Amino acid sequence: MQHKIPVDSLGPLGEAMGQAVSKCVHCGFCLPACPTYNLLGEEMDSPRGRIILMKSVLEGELELSEALLYIDRCLGCLGCVTACPSGVPYGELLAPFRAYAQERRQRPLVEKAARTLMLNTIPYPTRFRLAASAGRLAKPLKGALPAQFQSMLGLLPDSLEDGQPLPEVIPAEGVRRARVALLAGCVQQVVAPQINRATLDVLTKNGVEVVIPRGQGCCGALAMHTGELALAQAQARVNLAAFPEDVDAILTNAAGCGSGMKEYELIFRGTELEERARAFAQRVQDVTQFLDALGLIELPELKTPFKLAYQDACHLAHAQGVTAAPRRLLAMIPNLEILPIPEAELCCGSAGTYNIEQPELARRLGERKVQNILSTGAQAVASGNIGCMVQMRTHLGNLGQALPVWHTMEVLSRAYQGWG
């Protein structure tokens, strides 16, 4: 695609945006891979349609306000990247464009209030715990609130565990085979602390010493994907300083966080931190990717055969290209059958804050995802991202289904503990 994007005037990210636009040849392979195109059937709600809209805005041929509806409806799931034969790095256009748009747009008051609340609570576990506790008390008033706030309350769990700080260093069991640093996560520490406990259990049982840096913070993905570039950079700087270099890898057990940290090179492009951010990003791995390469010690056989559906988190499958590793790890559990999910490539509708900012589309995608999961006849579903897990659990509950939703590491930990 020929373009006249004034890349020099767009700052350090302008060149990446221009290159992403240039690679699109309008072939249409992205259309069936796009969740919103599947739902709405509109060209402008497809990746290639959005690329044209963003290009037209950047070249001054279209007003920003005319494109925002369609850009806002994009989940950023990057299913189009997996489907694209031309290798269009759609994420390197979408995220910078949202930052560009954020500086130039005026949001309605309710939308602005919802974003302010999210950005000032979700990345901070202590604040988020207080906000979630208050939100549970407000659930009876949910029907009187705007849609975004209704969605926030609907996603909250019925109860929260007391927050227990994780040790700074957890030694390996037996002979140490590796030493890693782990991102503890934000929301996950509050709504599902058992995921980190399971992760530590599996890592240490496999001879891995784990460091949990005290100075770490939010990965910055939430801010970056909502157009708050300066905030994303500030949060990333904290982690660049906090994580040690004398480890074999920096691990995450949340697909969105892993994808976010791998974008540090992009958000610091053209700055004095670009090289450091690139080196940091190259050390980031999903925990399943790391364990798959390391190799697991033998897992005990389940006493009773069990059927498990595995759901690909978009920012693990599409953004990081990790699909085989978690399946190989789960397949090592004797008597566990891994079931494929129909339309597995389509997003569940969580997508960071999408299920809050676009509640109706997120609801339709969430319902579609859980119906596909239920069609497998699985006894539980596993995934590698807390956002996906919350979304699936919410919509299963809405259907009156009590199907367990587990993290991949929880499944492995259960197996080591003699589950079944």
DSSP H helical segments within 226-375, as ranges?
229-242, 255-262, 264-267, 274-283, 287-294, 314-317, 324-331, 354-357, 359-374
The size of the chain, in residues, is 420
Block means of pLDDT (10 residues each) for the chain, length 420 residues?
68 81 90 96 96 92 95 96 94 92 90 89 89 81 81 80 86 96 93 94 97 95 92 96 96 96 93 95 97 93 94 96 97 96 95 91 96 97 96 94 96 89
Phi, psi of 211 (to 5 degrees): -105, 130
Query: Which pLDDT tens digit goes with each residue over 247-272?
Result: 999 999 999 999 999 999 999 998 99
The position carrying tokens 């599947």 is: 38
What Rg, from alpha-carbon coordinates, does the chain have? Answer: 21
Query: What is the pTM assigned to this prediction?
Result: 0.93
Measured distance CA(115)–CA(98) in Å, rounded = 14
DSSP H helical segments within 162-220, as ranges?
187-191, 194-205
CA angle 150/222/243 to nearest 5° reads 140
Distances (CA, A) of 146 to 70, 75, 88, 172, 280: 21, 21, 37, 49, 40
Query: Which pLDDT tens digit goes with each residue over 115-170?
Result: 898 899 999 988 988 888 888 778 777 777 888 888 888 888 777 877 778 999 99
Q: CB of 401 within 8 A of CB of 374?
A: yes
The count of C-alpha atoms lying within 13 angstroms of the C-alpha of 223, restricted to the half-sphere facing its C-beta, is 23
